[in-house]
Amino acid sequence: MRVWGAVQYVNEEGGPEVESDFVTRTALVTGGASGIGAAMARQFVAAGGRCVIGDVQDERGRALARELGPGCRYEHLDVTDEDDMRAAIDRTVDAFGALDCFFGNAGIVGALGPIERTPAPAWDRTVSVLLRSAFLGVKHAVPVMRSQGSGAIVCTASVASLRGGLGPHAYTAAKHGVWGLVRSVAAEIGAYGLRINCVAPGGTVSALSASLVSGDGDDLDAAYRRLAAASSSGRPTTADDVASAALFLAGPGAARINGACLAVDGGDDLVAHKARGYFEADGSER
């Protein structure tokens, strides 16, 4: 059994020892070439772990792996293809000897529009990328982790997993499915010493939100401005915010957390700000 716990290591510059939960640990991050997935990969490697980035964005993925150094590698991965998913997990184990964390993060916005004009092929593709991919990743990660006697899975859900009206129809349905999958699998794999949870980002500065805001997935500044203006705090959720929550759920500090969904939205989407007027009242009764 691989035992979790914070350990000490000396950084590559020969500096002082740093405490980390992920030294010698290995993760596979799907959708890891950009956005939230790239932030997960960066934070995991910075914490001493080794990471495989799985994505179809080959140029971005290879560039990120080079940036992160020998503890990271890139694998082309179509998350909707079962053979691809199985092979990516096998190659992760071959490269680094284990699969301690699986971050199922690949995503798209998918089909848009009113329900009566939503094309069935667009619906199917959205559900495939968002929900089928999570199923395939969990399906093939669990037996590897079970043989190790430990492991943590974190899927990227959404605030749209928790209520309606926060995303397109297909996206909302698929993300509800991810949250349902996490709860169902948690009921099975806890007996194996494994855990599965999900993070539920709200409006997050990423390529997806930039594409919706400006039509340019690289225009993160436009996404930041739009989301900041809509935030009660004046600051939007960033990819690093979501990645930090995911790493917490994957680490030993969350050892007793299984089957949970952690919203990362600053309270902007799931808290009813329409009630603010009640809080600003003078204390009188009506």
Helix (H) or strand (E) holding 53: strand 50-55
User: DSSP 3-state assignment of 58?
Assistant: helix
Query: For 2, which DSSP code?
Result: P
Q: Is 224 a catalytic residue?
A: no
Catalytic one of 20, 34, 133, 158 = 158
Helix then strand count (H, E) for the chain reads 10, 11
Q: Look at residues 50, 54, 49 and name the one whose alpha carbon lies nearest to residue 31.
A: 54
Alpha-carbon distances of 270 from 24, 51, 155, rounded to whole Å: 37, 32, 19
Alpha carbons 214 and 217: distance in angstroms, whole number: 8
Catalytic residue list contains 175? yes
Q: Which of 20, 74, 128, 175 is catalytic?
A: 175
Catalytic residue among 150, 161, 171, 206: 171
Residue 233 catalytic?
no
Residues with Cβ within 8 Å of 187's Cβ and at least 6 positions away in sequence, in order, are 259
DSSP 147-189: HHT-EEEEEE--GGGTSSSSS-HHHHHHHHHHHHHHHHHHHHH
Known catalytic residues?
A: 158, 171, 175
